[in-house]
Copies of this chain bind each other. A is one copy, B any other.
């Protein structure tokens, strides 16, 4: 697909993350004004609440709210209609004046009220590498892993927007003579893509992969900060708990499924056929370069299409028991890792469990130190344009003993 030229000049540069082809949704505020919904275009934000107030589009008043949940709840037909209308309004040469706000002067907020948060485990490289470190090579990949997208319920209350500082947690760490209470010594990131669920399902009902795909509103960058030492001591048999509750950072911009449509890509080869309820009729992954940096230095790059399961498959599986989904549910893809260390989405993997330090701006690192800033990035490349997700960053504050 080629660039759609916009009246906002900055949106027409080939490397601008927010061309008219993208139009991600977010929530922003300006000095003295309440948070409201907007869409990114070039270096500007279209004030969607103001657009609606001027009668330029119709979202049932939901854009004046401080989260996109209300808009999402209007359903896919409205998502499509508003996107089409915005594409018209923002096109090169379009007529009406628009309420455009410079992004540089705006504060970005959490784009959704996160209803519930689920984190999956869908990169085979990551699952194998971490499995070796936690359980040894013979038990690395769990027996069910190639048959179902396994995941666990995370903690929605701990999801924060890009830029929010993250406090190093205290926790129980395994010791020689029983556990000790100490600051986490193995603080890590997890490079993920988060799928935002925009439509509900009922208790006792299941959705197919196709229906699941239609329920996904869009995607955000997601860093599932992890306390590996807390995790190692706590996680059997009920799974990770406090090791994953210190904070999960998401990007402020939700890139819609519509914007990613041209980048559909098959995923990793299958080890075995899936049960019918997980089979997809077309690829549900995207050709999306994704990576992370620490203190400005790029540490790893890989592609979202290394994953074994798509968000639609994960969502379908999530309803397999009849579990109801709600507008605003957030599904983490699982850490995205390619096969080599410079493609890994977590320090645990990159450093072989802390045994092989890496160099960050001439300093050795095994895990994250206080003051370190981790930033995720992702881009899809179209013809003459780039789809970006905006920043997803967090800086670590020292523990409070």
Contact = CB atoms under 8 A, between A and B. Distances in A.
A170 B320 contact: yes
Interface stretch (A27-35, A77-85, A236-244): A236-244
A321 B230 contact: yes
Interface in A111-156: 115-116, 121, 131, 134-135, 142, 144, 147-148, 150-156
A247 B320 contact: no
A238 B240 contact: yes
Interface stretch (A49-57, A64-72, A272-280, A302-310): A272-280
A400 B148 contact: no
Interface stretch (A12-20, A323-331, A353-361, A383-391): A323-331
Contacts of A365: none
A147 B160 contact: no
Contacts of A381: none
Contacts of A153: 152-155, 241
A166 to B, nearest CB: 8
Given A148-B179, A153-B241, A242-B318, 14 more contacts: A116-B157, A144-B233, A153-B153, A153-B154, A167-B203, A169-B320, A170-B320, A238-B239, A239-B239, A242-B323, A245-B322, A246-B321, A246-B322, A246-B323
Contacts of A245: 318, 321-323
A227 B131 CA distance: 26
A330 to B, nearest CB: 13
Contact of A236 (B179, B237, B318, B320): B237
Most chain B CB within a 10 A radius of its CB, from A158, A169, A241, A276: A241
9 contacts: A147-B178, A152-B152, A152-B153, A167-B203, A167-B322, A179-B275, A181-B277, A242-B318, A243-B321
A234 interface: yes
A25 B152 CA distance: 32
A317 interface: yes
A239 B243 CA distance: 14
Contacts of A322: 158, 167, 169-170, 245-247
Contacts of A148: 172, 179, 234
Contact of A324 (B142, B158, B174, B397): B158
Given A148-B179, A204-B167, A237-B142, A242 B320 contact: yes
A306 B307 CA distance: 45
A206 interface: yes
Contacts of A236: 142, 237
A261 to B, nearest CB: 29
